[in-house]
Amino acid sequence: MGKSLLIVESPTKARTLNRYLGDRFDIRASVGHVKDLPANELGINIENKFEPHYEVIKGKEKVIRELRKAAKQADSIYLAPDPDREGEAIAWHIAEELRSSQKEIYRVLFNELTRNAIENALKQPGELHQQKFEAQLARRLLDRLVGYQISPILWDKIRRGLSAGRVQSVALRLICEREHEILAFDSEEYWTITALLEGEVKPQFEARLWRQAGKKVKIPNQKQASALVAVLEQASYQVEKVEKKKRTRNPAPPFITSTLQQEAARKLRYTAQRTMAVAQRLYEGVELGKEGAVGLITYMRTDSTRLAKEAVTAARGWIRDNIGTEYVPQKAPVYRSRKGSQDAHEAIRPTSVTRTPEQMAAYLKKEELALYELIWKRFVASQMSPAQLDQTIMHIAAGELMLRASGTVLRFPGFMQIYIEGSDNGEDGLEEGPKLPDLKEGTSLKLVKVEPKQHFTQPPPRFTEASLIRELEEKGIGRPSTYASIMQVIQKKEYTIKEKRRFKPTELGMLVNDLLVASFPEVLNVAFTAQMEAKLDQVETGNRGWLQVLEDFYQQFHQAVERAQTEMIDVKREGLPTELDCDKCGKKMHIRWGKNGLFLSCSGYPTCKNSKNFARDSKGKIQAAEEAEVKGTCELCSRDMVVKNGRFGPFLACTGYPECKNTRSLQNEKAEEKEKTVQYTDEACDKCDGRFVIRKSRQGISFLACENYPRCRNTRPIGTGIACPQTDCDGELVERASKRGKRFYGCTRYPKCRFISWSRPVDKGCPSCGNAYLVIRSSKGEEYLACPEKTCGYKEAPSKEV
C-alpha cells in the first residue's frame, strides 16, 4: 500500500508534520500561492460575469510538476494549507492542477501542529469549502478592480508608481483626517491646583481643587489661579466625606490577530508585519531538542476568542498547581467575540500551557521568545481570577472650595500576578494609585503647600500601528490578516512616514487622499468599506453570492472611474491651485509634481517659469519656502547655483533651469568640510603611506584610522597607556564598546587575553593593597578613585590631572 500525499503551504510546516507522519504520508510544500491573476493586466473578463483569468505564478511551474508527479504515485491527496480564506484559495488552485490524477482529494484543517491535533484532523478530513473560496475570490477581484482601475488614473494625473487600494486607501484617509484634526486644533490654556495635606494619620497626601460654590472649577489663566491659591493658603481644611468602594477588574480575553498585533506594538515595539512573521514560525514548528519540531501556538489568523475545553482545563490546573487555588475562578471565564467574527478557529494560545516561556528560552530566538511569552501570559491570565481593588475618594472642604483626593490599593492581584494589558499611551494599565491615610469624616487637616500648574489642551494623537489597527477593527474595515500588509504598503508608497512611532501623512499622501476622496467618495467611505466586509462574510456563510457582490459594487464604481478620468485635477500638467500669488507675474501658484517631488510652480508656465519649494505652517497652510541659499556659480552658464532638496537630500542646481539643467552633488563639499575637522596624528599607517587620523565609532569611541580610507581600511584602538594587569600579558588597555553600546576597557591582545574593566582605569597603583591600577567610579554625580579589588575597598578623591 502506497503513501498518501499531504500538501501544505510552507517547508517549515512540512518539516514539522514529517516528524509525526513521515512514515504514512509524502509531505510536500507549495511555498504559498501557486496561481494568481496576471501581473500586467486586469485579468478579469467583466463582460462575462467577472470571469477571472488565473495563471500559474512565474517560478511555480516546477512546484506544480513535482506535485502532479507525486499525486500520480499517491493513494489519495490531502490538502492542508492554512485554515483561512487565503489557505482555501491555495487548496482550491492546487486541486484544480491535480484533478487529472483522478485521486480522491480531501481538505484538512490544522488549528495547531501537535500530535493529537494532527491525528484528529486526519481522522476527520473534509471537502474543499466552496463558499470560503468564493469569499476569497470576491475579495481578490474587488481589490484587483479597485487597484488596476484607479492606480492608472493616479499615474496619469500625478506620477507613475502610485497605487490605490480598497482598504489601503481608507486607512490612509483615516490618517489624513486625523492630521487635519491636529492642524485645526486650537490649544487652550488651563490650570490645576493641588494641595499637599497632612492629617493626624500619615502619610501626607495630595488633593486637587475640584469645586467652587458647588460648581466644577475651571481655571483658564494664571490670574485666576493665583487668586485661588491665595484663598487656599488662608483656608481651614476638613474631611467632609469619605467614599470607599471595592472594585473588580477582569482579565483581558486571549489574543486574536488584531489584539496580538496591537499588544506586540505597544509592549515589544514590533510592527504588525514582524509580529505575524514571528507568530507564523511559532505556529509552524520550532525544534525542541529531543522532542523535535513542535508547533508552539495555535493558528495566528483568527478573530474568535473561543478556547477549546481541553486548553481551559489545562490552564486552570496549571494555575492551581503553580500560583494558588485562590487564583482559579469558580467558573472558567467565557469571552464574547466581536460581532461579525467568523469563529472558525480558536483564539491564539500556546498549544501546551506546560511549555512555559522559561522552559522555551533555550530553544527560541529573542524575538520568538518575547512574542511567545506575551501569548502564553495573556492566555494564562485570561483564565485567572479578577483583580480586587479598594478605591477611596475623599472630599475635603476649604471654605466654599472643595478638593478631592483619590487612591487605589490592590487588595488581591488576581490575573495581574501574571499579566497586565498595555495601553496606547505607553502605560502598563495598572490602576493602583497613591495610598490615602485612614481618616474619618470631620477630621481637620493641616496645609503643607499649594502648587498651581499650567497646562494646555492637546490635539488628538497621531495613530500608532496599534491604535490604527484598533480603529480599523472597530470600524469593521479589512480583516486582521490584512492589517500587516496595509501598514507596509502605505509606508512603501511614501504616503506616510513614522515620527516617534506614529503615522504622519506626507505631502504626497495628503494629495493622493484628497484627490481620491473627491473622485471616489463611496469607495473611500468608511461605512461603505465596512459593509463590503460584511458582504464578503455573507459569501463565506452562503447567504450571498459572490457574483452579486461584484455586480452591485462595479456598477457604481465604473461610473466613478469614468468621471475621474476626465474630472480629477491633473496635477502633472495643470497643477493643484493654491491661494499663493507668483512674486514675478502675479498669477496663482500651483502645486506640481517633479522628479524631486512636489513643488510650487506659476500657473502662467511656460510664459512664467517661476518655481519654489513649499512648506506648511502649524495650521497646515501652504507657504512658499524661503529663498534658496546661493552657493557658488554655474560652470556652464555663470548663473548662481542654489541649494535645493531632492529625494536623496540637498543638492546644488542652476537658477537658469530649465535652459541650464546643471546640478552638482553636495557630497564633495561635505567631505571637504569634514576634512577640515579631522585630527591628524604623527603616527604613520603600517599598511600604506598614509597617516593615522582620529575618528569616532558609532558608539562615540575614538580610534585611529588611516587617512586613505576606503582604499586602506587599517584601524587601531587608542591606548590608555595602562599595561594589562593580567600576569604574563604584555598588552595595553584600550577603550571598546559592547554590541549594545556599553563602554568597557579591554586588552589589545584580545581574544588571547580576555581581561575587561567596566570602569575607566587610571595609571596609579593602590596604596592599600598594591594593585597595579585604580578605576574611576561615581556616586551621586561625584567621581572618585577606587581599587577594583573587591577585598580592598580603597577610595580617594581624584586629582585634577585624572
Q: Which residues are catalytic?
A: 299
∠ CA 168-171-174, rounded to 5°: 155
Q: Smallest Cα–Cα separation from 733: which of 704, 713, 753?
A: 753
497, β-bridge pairs:
504
d(Cα 525, Cα 146) in Å, to the nearest integer? 14
> SS3 string of 448-467?
EEEEEEEEECCCCCCCCHHH
C-alpha cell at 156: 496619469
Q: Smallest Cα–Cα separation from 730: which of 758, 753, 764?
A: 753
φ/ψ of residue 202, rounded to 5: -80, 160
Side-chain half-sphere exposure of 282, counting CA atoms within 13 A: 34
Helix-then-strand count for the chain, H and E? 18, 41
d(Cα 647, Cα 595) in Å, to the nearest integer? 8
55-56 vs 502-505, strand pairing mode:
unpaired
Q: Spell out the residues 6+ positions from residue 356 whose beta carbon is closer than 8 angstroms to its own.
A: 376
Q: Do 63 and 31 form a contact (C-beta atoms < 8 A)?
A: yes
In the three-class reduction of DSSP (H, G, I as helix; E, B as strand; rest coil), residue 676 is classed as: helix
614-616 vs 237-249, strand pairing mode:
unpaired
Q: Smallest Cα–Cα separation from 136: which of 83, 213, 68?
A: 83
Please tell me what DSSP assigns to residue 126: B
In the three-class reduction of DSSP (H, G, I as helix; E, B as strand; rest coil), residue 241 is classed as: strand
Q: Do 565 and 545 form a contact (C-beta atoms < 8 A)?
A: no
Q: Locate cell 485635477: which residue?
A: 569
Q: Spell out the residues 6+ positions from residue 133 whose beta carbon is closer than 8 angstroms to its own.
A: 85, 88, 89, 92
In the three-class reduction of DSSP (H, G, I as helix; E, B as strand; rest coil), residue 540 is classed as: helix
d(Cα 669, Cα 673) in Å, to the nearest integer? 6
Q: Smallest Cα–Cα separation from 209: which of 405, 11, 40, 433?
A: 405
d(Cα 515, Cα 575) in Å, to the nearest integer? 12
In the three-class reduction of DSSP (H, G, I as helix; E, B as strand; rest coil), residue 651 is classed as: strand
Torsion sign (Cα): 739, 742, 748, 751: negative
User: Exposure string (b/e) for 565-603, b if CB count within 10 Å is 16 or more?
Assistant: eeebbebeeebbebebebeeeeeebbbbbeeeebbbbbb
d(Cα 208, Cα 776) in Å, to the nearest integer? 46
| 130: exposed, middle or buried (Cβ count in 10 Å: 0-12, 13-18, 19+) | middle
Element (H or E) spanning 163, and its range? none
Rg (CA), the chain: 34
d(Cα 318, Cα 360) in Å, to the nearest integer? 16
Other CB atoms within 10 A of residue 76 CB? 16
